[in-house]
Amino acid sequence: MLFHQRGSKVKRSVLAVILASTLCAAPGWAQVFAKPETAVEYRRSALFLMGNHMQRIKAELDVSKPKLESIRASATLIDTLKTVPFEAFVPGTDDVGDTAAKPEIWTEPERFKKLAGEMQDRVAKLDEAARSGDLAAIRSAFSEAGKACKSCHDDYRKKR
Ligand code: HEC
């Protein structure tokens, strides 16, 4: 009797493992990243670069003769990177590594995606303004882009 019970327990756990391995055959991060921490590193790296170049633009806008070439280079880089971080907000990466991502990203994916889209539109406008060379247009596009970054951070990024 005891043996029989044990046997069914073993069978059940074997079944559980098989089920788990079919259900979790491809966790979100596994399609592109070796481990979930790699996804965190990837998105943080892209966001770090975007932040760094937003700061460079700000530094130019703060001086009396902003270097347009520098602003253009940064705006183009930010525009190029604007979708990159969002490849890496994949399921299973909400509480790994050194992430500041809030779990609500995965429970409110539509809203998160919408905020990402708004930022991407504004970053494209910033790039356009930078190409035009019109400083007033650059200032306004920069401020709008910055607000779009902030509105997502306010809700979906933990304070470090
Ligand atoms: C749709 C949401 C969203 C938008 C829009 C967004 N971010 Fe973020 N950002 C995040 C989240 C979430 C994190 C935390 C990522 C993590 O730690 O895994 C983050 C982290 C960062 C970081 C820290 C990177 C690091 O070193 O860890 C910087 C810098 C940053 N974002 C810059 C920006 C800039 C600049 C913009 C606008 C051009 C922007 N973000 C737009 C969600 C967003």
Cα 122 from Cα 94, distance rounded (Å): 26
Strands annotated E in 80-119: none
In 3D space, the residue among 109, 88, 105 whose CA is nearest the CA of residue 44 turns out to be 88
Contact 71 CB / ligand 1 (< 6 Å): no
Residue identifier of the C-alpha nearest atom 1 of ligand 1: 116
- 20 exposed, middle or buried (CB, 10 Å; 0-12, 13-18, 19+)? exposed
| pLDDT block averages, 10 residues each, the chain of length 160 | 52 55 64 93 98 98 98 98 97 94 98 98 98 98 98 96
3-class DSSP assignment, residue 101: strand
CB-CB contact of 34 with 88 (8 Å): no
Contact 40 CB / ligand 1 (< 6 Å): yes
Helix/strand/coil percentages in the chain, nearest 5: 75, 0, 25
Q: What are residue 157's DSSP bridge partners?
A: 101
| Ligand 1 mutation target, pool 47, 80, 152, most atoms within 8 A of CB | 47
Q: What is the pLDDT of residue 15?
A: 52
Contact 115 CB / ligand 1 (< 6 Å): yes
Q: What is the pLDDT of residue 68?
A: 98
What is the number of the ligand 1 atom nearest to the C-alpha of 82? 38
Q: What is the pLDDT of residues 110-126, one digit of tens each?
A: 999 999 999 999 999 99
Asked whether the whole model's pTM tops 0.75, one would answer: yes
